[in-house]
Amino acid sequence: MCAIGTRIILGWDPSVAQLMVVTATDQVVHCLLSVHCGKKFYVSFVYAANYYIQRRQLWKDLCVHKQFVGDHPWTIMGDFNASLSLEESTASSSNVTIAMREFQECVDAIHMADVNYSGLHYTWNQRPNLETGILKKIDRVMANDMFIGDFPDAYVIFQPYRISDHSPMVLKLPDFSGSKQKPFKFGNIVVHNEAFQKGVKDGWCVEVHGHLMFRVVKRLRLMKKAFRKLMWSKGNIHDRVTKLRAELDSTQVLLDVNPDSVPLRLAEKNKLQEFNEALIEEERFLKQKAKVEWL
Q: Along the 295 residues of the chain, how does pLDDT read in single tens digits?
A: 777 888 999 999 998 899 999 999 999 999 999 987 778 999 999 999 999 999 999 999 999 999 999 999 999 999 999 999 999 998 867 789 999 999 999 999 999 999 999 999 999 998 766 666 789 999 999 999 999 989 988 999 999 998 899 999 999 988 655 444 567 777 777 887 778 888 888 878 888 787 788 888 888 887 887 787 777 777 788 888 999 999 999 999 999 999 888 899 999 999 999 999 889 888 988 888 888 777 7
Integer CA distances (angstroms), 16 to 13, 36, 45, 70, 99, in order? 6, 6, 19, 26, 37
137 and 224 together in one domain: no
- The number of residues making up the chain comes to 295
* Biggest distance spanned by C-alpha atoms of the chain: 87
Q: Is residue 6 part of a domain?
A: no
30 and 161 together in one domain: yes
244 and 219 together in one domain: no
Residues 76, 61 contacting (CB under 8 angstroms): no
152 and 254 together in one domain: no
- Residue 24 bridge partners (DSSP): 29
Domain of 200? 194-231
158 and 47 together in one domain: yes
SS3 percent helix, strand, coil of the chain, rounded to 5, is: 45, 20, 40
CA 136 to chain centre: 17
161 and 288 together in one domain: no
